[in-house]
Amino acid sequence: MNEIQKYITANEPKIMEDLFSLIRIPSISALPEHHDDMLACAKRWAQLLLEAGVDEALVMPSKGNPIVFAQKIVDPNAKTVLVYAHYDVMPAEPLELWKSQPFEPEIRDGHIWARGTDDDKGQSFIQVKAFEYLLKNELLKNNVKFIFEGEEEIGSPSLEFFCEEHKELLKADVILVSDTSMLGAELPSLTTGLRGLAYWEIEVTGPNRDLHSGHFGGAVANPINTLCQIISKVTDADGRITVPGFYDDVEEVPQAEREMIAHIPFDEKKYKEAIGVKEVFGEKGYSTLERNSCRPSFDVCGIWGGYTGEGSKTVLPSKAYAKVSCRLVPHQDHHKISQMFADYILGIAPDTVQVKVTPMHGGQGYVCPISLPAYQAAEKGFEIAFGKKPLAVRRGGSIPIISTFEQVLGIKTVLMGFGLESDAIHSPNENFSLDIFLNGQILKFGDIVIDKCTVKKEEGVSGFTGQQDLTFQGDAAALGTCNATVAGTVEDMDANMTINVKVPALQQTVKVTFLGVKQVENPDKN
């Protein structure tokens, strides 16, 4: 058992209780009646940060809920990491769907169950405890600053102004955020991009009042018909957006990232079955995973007009409306796109109607280059913790504050999330895998003695699988012998082996990837 494991084992009761003390505070930013809880949670975080070893921890006022700032300066000349997180959570309703109390954490089935266990108290707690370990063992080489806000779930309305006011205080070389997810427990990933957003409401006016469709139909333009015709022109048959200049600032995904996306396990048949469609549709030349994460898109989010009640009413409506939006990719400015789209809609509108385009809200996209040294450091950390190199993936959603950090502070962000889709954030029964939460420990097994595996040759590639007893040696000798499922391939003399190990001493399942070379005289035999 290595030093990190020993530290976690020795301190696990306190680690869990400290986390639970945060979770028990119902810091719901959307509900004014929880104002006192927001302050209590901020103060508790400040206390825990001081216990972890920061030089100072402050609960600072903002235009909204308080912001927690803390820092540890080990060397004024060293690089500085700014850790961002949020301590507010979503409302827990509907309460009747919870299997346990939402603000009383409970461990069952290998998970921690409660609101905030993943989003974002559990994830941010991992970073704080990692900082604590490094500091106590004299391994911390960088300065570390923390900024925890209490308004992320309501759009971070106060944080941009706070950043503008405290640029010097927040000065750093890179921002680290643990508020995203991985593709799977056995498929670690780092988020490298988030899409931006632009949103509009379109109003089309025809005649000055509703008209009898029999008396006027065919002689006067129907605003609903016209609105549908206008919207249909925004995209072409290849799924491309037709607004002139729309793609001018679109960043093409590097080929290396496209190759990573192509290797993500994805069953399109199951995808279609899950959402009940016969076929997918999107921009020609891109896969489904590329279309919903790193390419821009246009959608009608709502459309209405005329009579929609029960029964019939033969009316030619005076007005028709639609709410439409575009998901944008990094470098597309949502302000520029908003004006560009409005001009286009007004330009293609016929003289038979009057059209009004009202911009609503928007936000910038974000991309973290995989060539960024901080990203590569995070990649190495994930590889050590999870036993395999994480995939670089872009997400289709938007977190506007990440692009705000870059614009206001001039700092890139590394998105190191530990959540899973199954964690049910924002839903009843939110949870966090206990294995993933504790996977900050680095597993070092030393040498692994493996018996023979039956190898079957198919089409030039030999594959093997079987149950094995693994004997741990060296630094891991104390773990003894454990049963494992061994599977992999042998191509030429290169073996790629995946080992699933149940380690009794740790009471958790660990996945190890072994790369090596083994002399095989006859690949059809043992």
Q: Please say whether the beta carbons of 134 and 140 come within 8 A.
A: yes
CA pair distance 116, 496, nearest whole angstrom: 38
Question: 245: burial class by Cβ within 10 Å (0-12, 13-18, 19+)?
Answer: exposed
88 catalytic? Reply is yes
Is the distance from CB of 419 to CB of 180 less than 8 angstroms? yes
Question: How many Cα atoms within 13 Å fall on the side-chain side of residue 35?
Answer: 3
In angstroms, the CA 428 to CA 332 distance is 35
Two tokens, residue 254 = 């590097």
Which one is catalytic: 120, 132, 151, 152? 152
Cα distances (Å, whole numbers) of residue 219 to 206, 214, 216, 375: 12, 10, 5, 62
For residues 342 and 200, the answer to whether their CB atoms sit within 8 Å is: yes
| Short-list 89, 87, 115, 95, CA closest to 103 | 115
Beta-strand pair 80-86/174-177: parallel
Phi, psi (deg, nearest 5) at residue 136 = -65, -25
Helix axes 35-52, 121-136, angle to 10 degrees: 20
Instruction: Identify residue 84 by its one-letter amino acid code.
Output: Y
Residue 317: name the closest of 231, 232, 205 by CA. Answer: 205
From the candidates 37, 88, 120, 257, give the one annotated as an active-site residue: 88
Six-digit token pair at 249?
């600032």
Instruction: Read off φ and ψ for residue 202, nearest 5 degrees.
Output: -110, 130
User: 217 has which bridge partners?
Assistant: 220
For residue 457, give the nearest of 490, 487, 501 by alpha carbon.
Answer: 490
- The answer to whether 94 and 428 are in contact (CB under 8 A) is yes
Beta bridge partners of 496: 489, 515
Which sequence positions are flagged as catalytic?
88, 152
